[in-house]
Amino acid sequence: MPLWDWSYAFSILPDLLLALVTTIEITVLGSVVALLLGLVIAVLRRARIPVLDQVLWAFVELVRSTPLLVQVFFLFFALPRFGIELSAFVIGVLALGVHYATYTSEVYRAGIDAVPQGQWEAATALSLPRSRVWTGVVLPQAIPRVLPALGNYVISMFKEVPLLLAIGVVEVVNEARELGSETFRYVEPYTIAGVLFLLLSYPASLLVRRLERRRVSA
Amino acid sequence: MSVPEPMIVFDGVEKRFGSNVVLHDLSFTVSPGEHVTLIGPSGSGKTTILRLLMTLEKVDEGTISVGGRYLSHQDKGGTLVPADERYSREVRKRIGMVFQQFNLFPNMTVRGNLIEGPTRVLGLSRDEANTRAADLLELVGLSDKIDAHPTQLSGGQQQRVAIARALAMHPDVLLLDEVTSALDPELVAGVLALLRDLGETTDITFLCVTHEMGFARDFSHRVMMFDGGRVIEDAAPEQLFTAPEHERTKSFLQAVLDH
Ligand SMILES: Nc1ncnc2c1ncn2[C@@H]1O[C@H](COP(=O)(O)OP(=O)(O)O)[C@@H](O)[C@H]1O
Ligand SMILES: [Mg+2]
């Protein structure tokens, strides 16, 4: 048996590409959850509302100090007990999104803290309503600064999607595993899976780096 | 002769930062249209007074009112309670402030900075706000900069836009905190000339902190000398600058002039 069989490799490529679409879907949807929820957490925490602030702090610490895999299993097995029946795909999106939201919330916080105090004061001096201070003054200055950091978390999330094979989501690595188990040839499917990740995450990280450089020179 | 109701009233105001009392039992009034300049050594509490008026700080004791309405308190059935955010925003609409560091919004153009308050707070239409912005830019001599970003402007130009931004809210009271201190020397005169012009052509009440004694002298109706969180001398500029009563005022003026 040769180490690498090209015709076999080409024959499994379509199935792997199809599974890659699932991986990308989960990444995109998970990113939407992470970017929005993280922003909500960061803005709420800045308001320092008693009790809510402690609850959010505890939640963020809890999520960040436990493995993502444990959270995935927890949602997968615990939610049905509360009568919430979700597909493995949706649970994967939620688990990744919430997990990464705790990281993006810290990124947003750093961006918000970097907006000079004078900007808040000028907004107060104009009597702008609170909501407009956020949407018109603070966030438009805070978010561009942290786009590279947010982009890096999206790339990390993309590479963590295969974790969801633990609950049966058919993403690229799970597909590779299944293809391999049919033919007992594992080298080709796993290699192709790895190459597919590389082909997407490397250009993405170059893009993030360019974004970083533009921030520095601006 | 009837005495007009004062525009600004400080009544027994105390302000502390931790255990540091920075304003002691401070009481004074400012009449509508009056130009009052606060002078005094660094750390004497001048900025704190302006920040209290802008509700950027909270009073610890006493009350402040502007245009006959309490600023940081609300009258609820005869008793004074701390004002909520909505109420103090309403009173604060009548007050504008210009900062030492300009604090223009860098994410907006000059036009964006000027129409932000009028459209979002005063409820002007975009067209009305644009007209007002164009008029104000003409007044401050920067009509050609309407689509520029703040970072493309010199310090003096930024400060003139900041003044226009405050004026766009049609304030009754304008607070100026060392508005020329961050400017290169050659840009100071332009900003001061603009302020002199505003002093003559508007009936805005000015409360102004400055180290420009020449400007203080011909702009102000009244000068208050602060030291250690207390007013130690309160007089017309001709009086205070030529024949100060207090030793502390004399030495302060001497130090500023020598500088
Ligand atoms: N946010 C703050 N926290 C603690 N102390 C402050 C704060 N702001 C001002 N102070 C103190 O209050 C005093 C008066 O300050 P300030 O009003 O800025 O004086 P001035 O404008 O006359 O130089 C100073 O002793 C200063 O250190
Ligand atoms: Mg000061």
Question: Does a structural domain hold residue A84?
Answer: yes
Higher pLDDT, A212 or B195: B195
Token digits of residue A217: 């020179």
Each residue's pLDDT tens digit, B131-145? 999 999 999 999 999
Return d(Cα B43, Cα B55) in angstroms, integer. Answer: 19
> C-alpha angle with apex B125: B122 to B130, nearest 5 degrees?
95
State the total domains in chain A.
1
Nearest to A73 by CA among A97, A98, A100, A91: A91
Is-contact A187 A8, C-beta < 8 A? no
Q: Give the per-residue pLDDT at A107.
A: 97
Q: Is B145 in the pocket of ligand 1 (CB under 6 A)?
A: no
Tokens of A171: 């993403």
Specify the pLDDT at position A218: 59
For ligand 1, say whether the CB of B105 is within 6 Å of any of its atoms. Answer: no
Q: Is A1 exposed, middle or buried (0-12, 13-18, 19+ CB in 10 A)?
A: exposed
Most ligand 1 atoms within 8 A of CB, residue of B22, B58, B227, B256 to mutate: B22
| pLDDT, tens only, A147-168 | 999 999 999 999 999 999 999 9
Indicate whether B2 pLDDT > 90. Answer: no
**B225 pLDDT higher than 90:** yes
Mean pLDDT calculated for residue range B99-109: 97
pTM of the model: 0.91
- Half-sphere exposure of residue A104, counting CA atoms within 13 Å on the CB side? 30
What residues does each domain of chain B span?
Answer: 8-94+171-258, 106-170
For residue A131, tell me if it sits in a domain: yes
Rounded Cα distance between A89 and B76, Å, is 56
Q: Does A147 touch chain B (CB under 8 A)?
A: no
- Residue B125 DSSP one-character state: -
Give the span between the Cα atoms of A118 and B20, in whole angstroms. Answer: 23
Q: 3-state SS of chain A? A: CCCCCHHHHHHHHHHHHHHHHHHHHHHHHHHHHHHHHHHHHHHHHHCCCCCHHHHHHHHHHHHHCCCHHHHHHHHHHHHHHHCCCCCHHHHHHHHHHHHHHHHHHHHHHHHHHCCCHHHHHHHHHCCCCHHHHHHHHHHHHHHHHHHHHHHHHHHHHHHHHHHHHHHCCCCHHHHHHHHHHHHCCCHHHHHHHHHHHHHHHHHHHHHHHHHHHHHHHC
Question: Count of CB atoms within 10 A of residue B66's CB?
Answer: 20
pLDDT in tens, B29-86: 999 999 999 999 999 999 999 999 999 999 999 999 999 899 888 878 888 888 887 8
> Which ligand 1 atom is the nearest neighbour of the CA of B51?
17
How far is B142 from B110, CA to CA, in rounded Å? 10
A54 touches chain B (CB under 8 A): no
Q: What is the pLDDT of residues A66-78, one digit of tens each?
A: 999 999 999 999 9
Read out DSSP for B155-203?
HHHHHHHHHHHHHTT--SEEEEESTTTTS-HHHHHHHHHHHHHHHHH--
Please list every residue in chain B whose beta carbon sits closer than 8 Å to the beta carbon of residue A126: 116-117, 120-121, 165, 169
Q: Does A84 touch chain B (CB under 8 A)?
A: no
Q: Are A51 and A127 in contact (CB under 8 A)?
A: no
Range of the domain at A123: 6-217
A92 assigned to some structural domain: yes
* Residue B31 touches partner A, C-beta closer than 8 Å: no
> For residues B225 and B211, what is the distance between their CA atoms, to the nearest angstrom?
12
**CATH number for the domain including A176?**
1.10.3720.10
- Do the domain assignments include residue A1? no
Q: Ligand 2 centroid vs B177 CA: distance in angstroms?
A: 7
Residues 6+ apart with CB under 8 A from A45: A53, A56, A57, A105, A109
Helices (H) and strands (E) in chain B, counts: 9, 12
pLDDT at position B1 over 60: no
- The answer to whether position A27 is within a domain reads yes
Q: Report yes or no: A100 and A30 within 8 Å, Cβ to Cβ.
A: yes
CB contact under 8 A, B120 and A132: yes
- pLDDT > 80? residue A215: no
Question: Interface pTM (ipTM) of the complex?
Answer: 0.93
pLDDT band at B3 (very low <50, low <70, confident <90, very high): low
Classify each residue of A154-171 as buried b or exposed e, where b means 16 or more C-beta atoms within 10 Å of its C-beta.
bbebbebbbbbbebebbb
Residue where the block lists tokens 């006959």:
B68
Under the banding of pLDDT at 50, 70 and 90, the label for residue A119 is very high
Class of domain B8-94+171-258 (CATH, top level):
alpha beta
Average pLDDT, chain A: 95
Looking up tokens 């603070």 gives A138
pLDDT at B170: 96
d(CA B57, CA A35): 33
What's the gap in Å between the CA of B162 and the closest CA on chain A?
A: 9
